[in-house]
Amino acid sequence: MKNLKVLAFTHKHVELKDLGNLVICNEDLESRLINLKHSLDIPEIFYIGTCNRVEFVFYGAHELTHEFIADFMGKLNFCVPQERLQCYLGQVNKYEGM
């Protein structure tokens, strides 16, 4: 379980209107997650998107450093300016080693 990781963006830390920028539509979901898995060597990943949260649950030996999370988010190709993406990095809840 030490390699189970969660990156969570919730309405408690991100404005609801801004959470919408992190939602991945069904048509793009599979290809984006496969690309992420291959580029960051993540064996398994699960995406949860609801009206008040976006979460990524995955398995991997990575430490959830600021640099790793920035790379993770960048590879998902969200259609937001780089400076906005940087704001999200300060609003993420991260869980590991549970």
| For residue 98, pLDDT beyond 80 | no
**What is the per-residue pLDDT for 49?**
94
Instruction: Taking the CA atoms of 47, 36, 21 and 30 in sequence, report the sign of the dihedral they define.
Output: negative
Confirm whether pTM is higher than 0.85: yes
| For residue 1, pLDDT beyond 90 | no
pLDDT in tens, 37-95: 999 999 999 999 999 999 999 999 999 999 999 999 999 988 888 888 888 989 999 99
Question: Could you list the residue range(s) of the whole structural domain that residue 44 is in?
Answer: 4-96
Contact in structure between 34 and 44 (CB atoms under 8 Å): no
**What is the per-residue pLDDT for 86?**
85
Which residues fall within 8 angstroms of residue 57, CB to CB, at 6 or more apart?
4, 5, 6, 45, 46, 48
**What is the per-residue pLDDT for 33?**
96
Apex CA 40: angle with CA 62 and CA 11, to 5°?
A: 70
Average pLDDT over residues 6-31: 92
* 90, 92, 97, 98: CA torsion to nearest 10: 140
Q: How many domains are there within the chain? A: 1
Distance in angstroms (rounded) separating the CA atoms of residues 98 and 82? 31
> Helix, strand, or coil here: 1?
coil
Q: pLDDT higher for 9 or 1?
A: 9
CATH number at residue 17: 3.30.460.30
**What is the per-residue pLDDT for 77?**
85
